[in-house]
Structure 1
């Protein structure tokens, strides 16, 4: 079975948010998204059997629809776009992790220990990064949980760039499509580090 990245593209709808709202939270909605980090064994790399899955956790994702509908400053669609950003950030990190792991396929390793020397820094780079970026994304100086139109627009542009802009110099995927610029590179270019 060839290696696979699953769940990169998902358009959220309010009906996806089925969890019980946190009454103590001042937030209007919460998006729970995660991705699996596979155990990278030499045999899985050689046999092209590495899978990364991005998962929207519907039962842990919630919304306060009555409060969202009463909001004057931001529309329900704008608030949902902010929540989409949470999903997209995690999805892009998972994509970039997957691409880095796939680039190891061209290397020749004598044993698992040799492979681990290349895998460890990749996993360390992404370990906990999504939580740090979620917190940064929501800061008052950034999107302010979607309340800042300027901050939200900035993040929307960065997310779009990571989804659509080819790497330079070009790096091609096995299917012939150009890999897109890593999210962490886009963020760093804009002064944002996890």
Structure 2
């Protein structure tokens, strides 16, 4: 149904148009897939452009506490669908891509909360933490599409639906506030 590309972490949020922030219980709908451009070829039914963004408030003094906010986003203007081939099953597969982005945002929040307390910690540690989580995220998205055959393999899709739900629950203490 599509390949996912990691939306780079951005310091300034309004660069890419209309965004939806991931919220528990809020589901995507087809009207939110607003791009008319199919960049993936004729065999792709939909493309979900999602990832996370962060903002940082820090001091030049390395001992001052740092504030980092990480949000999971879905970019409406870069997400698209083939209106002739969409259905609720495909939408569920795309929703899971968004949910996976939230899982890895929670993992990033967890590591940041555990390892970064000050502006100096941010300067020394954030980029390596980000790179590690970002690579894990990208690899999991690719594996998800490969294993589910972009949602075509219903048995594998059902397995991933459970895995994703369990991970969201396991990391519930790291939801965005």
Given the two structures, how large is their TM-score scaled by the length of structure 1?
0.66
| Aligned residue number for residue 86 of structure 1 | 97
> Which segments of 5 or more consecutive residues in structure 1 lack a partner in the other structure?
1-5, 69-75, 167-177, 181-194
- Matches of 2:23 and 2:64 in 1, distance apart? 24
Residues 48 and 8 of structure 1, relative CA distance in 2, 3 Å threshold: farther
Task: Please identify the structure whose Cα radius of gyration is greater.
Answer: 1
> Which segments of 5 or more consecutive residues in structure 2 lack a partner in the other structure?
1-20
| Aligned residue number for residue 99 of structure 1 | 110
- Matches of 1:85 and 1:103 in 2, distance apart? 27
- Answering whether residue 153 of structure 2 is matched by residue 137 of structure 1, we say no
Higher strand share: 2
Aligned positions of 1:1-194 closer than 5 A: 7-9=22-24, 10-22=26-38, 24-38=41-55, 41=58, 46-47=64-65, 49-68=67-86, 76-104=87-115, 112=120, 116-139=123-146, 142-165=147-170, 179=173
Higher relative contact order (CA closer than 8 Å, sequence separation 6+): 2
Given the two structures, how large is their TM-score scaled by the length of structure 2?
0.71
**What count of residue pairs does the alignment treat as equivalent?**
151
8 Å CA contact 1:34, 1:54 repeated in 2 = yes
Per-residue displacement from partner, 1:44-94 (whole Å, max 9, x unpaired)? 9944521112211101111112123xxxxxxx1111110001101111101
| Other structure's SS at 1:26 match | coil
Provide the alpha-carbon RMSD of the alignment.
2.8
